[in-house]
Structure 1
Amino acid sequence: MKKLVIAGAFALFSAPALADGHAVTYPFEGDFGDATFAVESAIVGRGLVVDWVSHTGDMLNRTAEDVGSDVKLFDGADIFQFCSAQLSRKVMEADPMNIAFCPYGIFVADQQGEVMIGYKTFPEGPMQEVQALLDEIVKEALQ
C-alpha cells in the first residue's frame, strides 16, 4: 500500500498543471539555475537555436518600485524564445496567421523555492503540433 501511495504522489507532482487554460506547467526538482540550464540544453539538443532569453523576473523586480509595488512575484523567471523552421513553415502553410504564435517560448519560474517549467497553450488544429514539441522539450528538461 505504501508503494502505491508513493507512486500516486509522484504521478500527481509530475503531471502538468494548467494555469487557467493559458499555460501548462510542470514542477522541477532542483533550483532555478539547474532548470534554466536543462531547458536551454533540451532546446539546443534538438538542433534549435535560442533566439532570445527574456529575463522577466529581473525586469519585474527591477521595476516594482517604479510602478508602485512592493510585491516580489518571482525569485527568478526567464523565458526562452526559439523557432523551428520546419515546424513553423508547416503550421504557417496551414494558416499564415499562425505567425502570431512565433517565436515559441518555454519559461522557467521560481516562486519561493518552487521551480516550474512551462509554456503557453495553443489553439486546436495545426498549432497542437507545436504544443506537442514544447511538451517534449519540457519533459526532457525535467529528466
Structure 2
Amino acid sequence: MKKLLGAVALSAIASAGLAADIITYDTDQSFDDVIFGLENAILDEGLVVDHISHTGEMLERTRADVGSDVVLFEQADIYSFCSAKISREVMEADPMNVVFCPYDIFVMVRPDTPDVTTIGFRTYPEGAMKKVEAMLDGIARSAIGLD
C-alpha cells in the first residue's frame, strides 16, 4: 500500500516570488515510483506527454557554470501535456486561455528532504480553467495512489 507523509500533505502555497499558487502532495514514495505513476495516470486519461523537462538535471549540470554551489534538487522533472477536449472547452469559454496550454505537473525531491517526493501543479483562475485544475489534481492524486 502506498503511504503518504502525514495523511495528505495538500497545500496551496502562496509565496513571495511565485507568480501563481501551487497545489502539492508529498509522499514517501521514490521519485521513480511517482514518475511511473504520473506517466500511467496521464496515459490513463487518454493523454500524451508532449515534453519532459529534466529541470533538476539542467540546474545541477549548469550550477558551477553560473557560479553557484547550491544544490536545489536531488531530482526534478516537469511533465507537459494537453487535453484536446478540455482545452477546447476552456478556450471556447475564453480564447485567451490559450496562454495556459500545455499543462504541467512537476515531481521533485529536495536535498533537505530526500525521503519526500513532491508532486504538484499550478492553480488556475476561477471559471473555465478550474476544469484543467481538476484534471491535473486527479492525475497527480492518481500518480501517488490517492484516487
TM-score by length of 2: 0.86
Please state how far the C-alpha of 1:11 moved relative to its aligned partner: 8.8
Alignment of 1:45-64 (within 5 A): 45-64=44-63
* Structure with a larger share of its residues in helix: 1
Where does residue 12 of structure 2 map in the other structure?
18
Q: How does 1:8-87 map to 2 (within 5 A)?
A: 12-20=6-14, 22-87=21-86
**Which contiguous aligned blocks of 4+ residues in structure 1 show a shift greater than 2 angstroms?**
10-13
Q: Distance in 2 between matches of 1:109 and 1:115?
A: 6
Correspondence for 2:137 among 115, 135, 138: 135
Aligned-partner Cα distance in 1 for 2:140–2:21: 16
Q: How far apart are 1:93 and its partner, in Å?
A: 0.5
Report the CA distance between 1:61 and its aligned residue. 0.4
Gapped runs of 5+ residues in structure 2? Answer: 15-19
Task: Find the aligned partners of 2:5 and 2:72 in 1 and give their Cα distance.
Answer: 27
Which runs of 5 or more structure 1 residues have no equivalent in the other structure? Answer: 1-9
Quote the RMSD (CA, aligned, Å): 1.4
User: TM-score with structure 1 length normalisation?
Assistant: 0.89
Equivalent residue, structure 2, for 1:121 = 123
CA distance in 2 between counterparts of 1:66 and 1:11 reads 36
Bigger-Rg structure (1/2): 1
Q: How many residues align?
A: 134
